[in-house]
Structure 1
Amino acid sequence: MTDSSDELQQRLERILLGGRRKYTRLEVAERAGVPEERSRRLWRALGFATVRDDEVVFTDADVEAMRTADQLVQSGLIDPSIEVSVTRALGQHLSRLAEWQVDMLWELIKAQPELGRSERQVARLVDRLLPELERVQNFVWRRHLAAYAGRAFAAPDENLETRTEIVGFVDMVGYTRLTRQIDEDELSRVLDAFELLATETIAEHHGRVVKMIGDEVLFVADSATDAAEIALALTERTSADETLPSVRAGMASGRVLNRFGDVYGSVVNLAARLTSVARPGTILVDRELAAELADEKAYELRVRRPVTVRGYNRLRPAALRRARDVPTGAFASSQHLAAEMLGLTESVAPEDDTGEDAVTARPRRRRRRIL
Structure 2
Amino acid sequence: MEQEPIERDGPGEPGIEEALLGGERKYTRKQVADLADVPLERVHRLWRALGFAAADDDDIIFTDADVEAARMGYAFVGSGLIDQELDAAMTRALGHFLSRLAEWQVQVVWDWLVKQEGMNVDEFDIARVVEATMPTMERLQNYVWRRHLVAFAGRAVTLEAGVEAEERTQIIGFVDMVGYTRLTRQTDEHTLIDLLERFEALAADTISGHHGRIVKMIGDEVLFVADTPDDAVAIAFDLGERARLDDSIPELRTGLALGRVLHRLGDVFGETVNIAARLTSIARPDTILIDANLAGRIRADRAYELRSLRASVRGYSRLRAYALRRRENGRPSTRHH
Return the TM-score normalized by structure 2.
0.92
- 1:316/1:71 Cα in 2 relative to 1: closer, same or farther (>3 Å)? same
- 1:118/1:170 Cα in 2 relative to 1: closer, same or farther (>3 Å)? closer
How much has 1:36 moved relative to structure 2? 1.3
How much has 1:100 moved relative to structure 2? 0.3
Give the letter aligned to residue 77 of structure 2. V
Specify the alignment match of 1:245 in structure 2: 250
For structure 1, which segment, 108-117 or 96-105, has the greater mean C-alpha deviation from structure 2 after superposition?
A: 108-117
Aligned length: 327
Specify the alignment match of 2:208 in structure 1: 203
Q: Is the 8 A contact 1:8 1:123 kept in 2?
A: no
1:50-71 deviations in Å (ceiling 9; x for gaps)? 1011101110001111111111
For structure 1, which segment, 33-42 or 142-151, has the greater mean C-alpha deviation from structure 2 after superposition?
A: 33-42
1:1-371, aligned counterparts within 5 Å? 11-116=15-120, 120-155=124-159, 157=161, 158-304=163-309, 306-325=310-329, 354-355=336-337
SS in 1 for 2:15: helix
Specify the alignment match of 2:5 in structure 1: none
Q: Is the 8 A contact 1:115 1:122 kept in 2?
A: no
Give the letter aligned to residue 266 of structure 1. E
Provide the rounded CA distance (Å) in 2 between the counterparts of 1:9 and 1:299: 66
Give the letter aligned to residue 315 of structure 1. L
- 1:197/1:19 Cα in 2 relative to 1: closer, same or farther (>3 Å)? same
SS in 1 for 2:230: helix
RMSD: 2.1
Give the letter aligned to residue 43 of structure 2. S
Provide the rounded CA distance (Å) in 1 between the counterparts of 2:75 and 2:170: 34
- 1:47/1:314 Cα in 2 relative to 1: closer, same or farther (>3 Å)? same
How much has 1:321 moved relative to structure 2? 1.9
1:160-179 deviations in Å (ceiling 9; x for gaps)? 10111100000000011111
- 1:156/1:319 Cα in 2 relative to 1: closer, same or farther (>3 Å)? closer
Whichever of the two has the greater Rg, that structure is 1
Point out where structure 2 has 5 or more consecutive residues left out of the alignment.
1-7
Q: Is the 8 A contact 1:46 1:90 kept in 2?
A: yes
Q: Is the 8 A contact 1:205 1:230 kept in 2?
A: yes
SS in 2 for 1:271: helix
Specify the alignment match of 1:335 in structure 2: none
SS in 2 for 1:177: helix
1:243-287 deviations in Å (ceiling 9; x for gaps)? 111110001000011000000000000000000000000000000
Q: Is the 8 A contact 2:25 2:60 kept in 1?
A: yes
How much has 1:8 moved relative to structure 2? 10
Provide the rounded CA distance (Å) in 2 between the counterparts of 1:354 and 1:281: 10
Provide the rounded CA distance (Å) in 2 between the counterparts of 1:285 and 1:118: 52
1:79-101 deviations in Å (ceiling 9; x for gaps)? 22211101000000000000000
Provide the rounded CA distance (Å) in 1 between the counterparts of 2:165 and 2:306: 31
Provide the rounded CA distance (Å) in 2 between the counterparts of 1:104 and 1:20: 25
Specify the alignment match of 1:366 in structure 2: none
Provide the rounded CA distance (Å) in 2 between the counterparts of 1:96 and 1:319: 36
1:203-249 deviations in Å (ceiling 9; x for gaps)? 00000000001110000000001000111111111111111111100
Provide the rounded CA distance (Å) in 2 between the counterparts of 1:247 and 1:9: 51
How much has 1:326 moved relative to structure 2? 6.3
User: Could you tell me the percent identity over the aligned residues?
Assistant: 54
For structure 1, which segment, 160-169 or 288-297, has the greater mean C-alpha deviation from structure 2 after superposition?
A: 288-297
Provide the rounded CA distance (Å) in 2 between the counterparts of 1:254 and 1:142: 29
- 1:119/1:79 Cα in 2 relative to 1: closer, same or farther (>3 Å)? closer
How much has 1:117 moved relative to structure 2? 6.5
- 1:143/1:245 Cα in 2 relative to 1: closer, same or farther (>3 Å)? same
1:82-140 deviations in Å (ceiling 9; x for gaps)? 11101000000000000000000101111223443676554332111000110110000
- 1:253/1:119 Cα in 2 relative to 1: closer, same or farther (>3 Å)? closer
Q: Is the 8 A contact 1:167 1:251 kept in 2?
A: yes
Return the TM-score normalized by structure 1.
0.84
- 1:118/1:84 Cα in 2 relative to 1: closer, same or farther (>3 Å)? closer
Give the letter aligned to residue 48 of structure 1. F
